[in-house]
Chains A and B, each alone.
Chain A
């Protein structure tokens, strides 16, 4: 049972990247939870008192505007974690963190994780470098939302989501995608129809399946290749673990 859980935790590539001694100590404190789609993990201003490492689902970080709209600035899947800054002292969330795709997650209280940060320089270094990686991604997505058309952003977002979750079958409604891309749902419906006719995807209510990754890549903006964490990791020095199978 312990081996099964350890393997589950190391499905998260950040946890898999930890030195063996650090992970061995931390694994005793990690819990595995299943979270449904749409679960709010942090609201803006909330204390970062828990850290979430996705094993199979995906978390979106959303900036909430005064009129109630939520604009996605980053997605975190099995290659990352949410709430890491909570281990550096008392920290508060600037964004809403919500499970965009439900799944299995490893969690640890921020206070307990802080102990490992103090005891293991390698864990601290990983947080700093991963934060840099997220910052680069947020900058790129901000530029993408301003500069690129809906078609390119939809293709980029589908590829990115498949990469984060390790699956080409995505349980996503068009309403949700429209909210993430800040376009009308009708626009997503028409673009999805076009992509389906082109043989790139198949979709039914609430589900999208990527059929031809290359066709999506041809239509995606350059942001997709830039924000692939594998590419960013080379520039920021984050060494992701390889236990999880790559979707790309």
Chain B
């Protein structure tokens, strides 16, 4: 299975150093939405800024950016 890396970017960058094995790009999108929801859940953010203002940037194993989205735009489990 291909590896996907889920980084966070604002004025600073938080790197997903480990990556995750996922079956395809659709699974990576679902995973990214889930991580965003888990981070934003009633959270104000560790670095003093709300996570919702951060951007999630997803790379493949070669470092190629596949997609990105503002965390506040993450889809929840109900597709909303």
Residues of A within 8 A of B (CB-CB), count = 21
Stretch at the interface among B12-20, B62-70, B72-80: B12-20
Verify if B1 is at the interface (C-beta below 8 Å from A).
Answer: no
For B15, the closest partner residue in chain A by CB is: A193
- A180 interfacial contact with B, CB 8 Å: no
**Besides A149-B42, A184-B20, 6 other A-B contacts (C-beta < 8 A):** A150-B38, A150-B41, A183-B38, A184-B34, A186-B35, A195-B46
| Residue A168 interfacial (CB < 8 Å) | no
- Known contacts: A184-B31, A186-B31. The answer to whether A191 contacts B39 by CB under 8 A is yes
Main secondary structure on chain A at its contact with chain B? Answer: helix
CB of A239 closer than 8 Å to a CB of B: no
Which residues of B are found within 8 Å of A187, using beta-carbon distances? 35, 38-39
**Which residues of the partner chain A approach B38 to less than 8 Å between Cβ atoms?**
149-150, 183-184, 187
Q: Using CB atoms, name the residue of chain A closest to B36.
A: A187
Contacts of B15 in A (CB 8 A): 193
Q: Are B6's CB and A190's CB within 8 A?
A: yes
A174 contacts which chain B residues (CB < 8 A)? Answer: 18
Q: How large is the interface on B (under 10, 10 to 19, 20 to 34, 35 or more residues)?
A: 20 to 34
Question: Interface of A with B (CB < 8 Å)?
Answer: 147-152, 174, 183-187, 189-191, 193-195, 197-198, 219
B16 and A194 within 8 A (CB)? no
Residues of the A chain whose Cβ atoms lie less than 8 Å from the Cβ of B35: 184, 186-187, 190
Given contacts A149-B41, A150-B38, A191-B39, are A186 and B47 in contact (CB under 8 A)?
no
Q: Are B17 and A198 in contact (CB under 8 A)?
A: no
A197 B6 Cβ-Cβ under 8 A: no
> In the complex, what distance in Å separates the CA atom of A185 from the CA atom of B21?
11
Q: A147 vs B6: C-alpha distance in the bound complex, in angstroms?
A: 25
Q: How far is the CA of A187 from the CA of B35 in the complex (A)?
A: 6
Q: Which of B12, B15, B41 has the most CB of A within 10 A?
A: B41
Minimal beta-carbon separation of A66 from chain B (angstroms) = 19
Complex-state Cα separation, A84 to B18, whole angstroms: 40
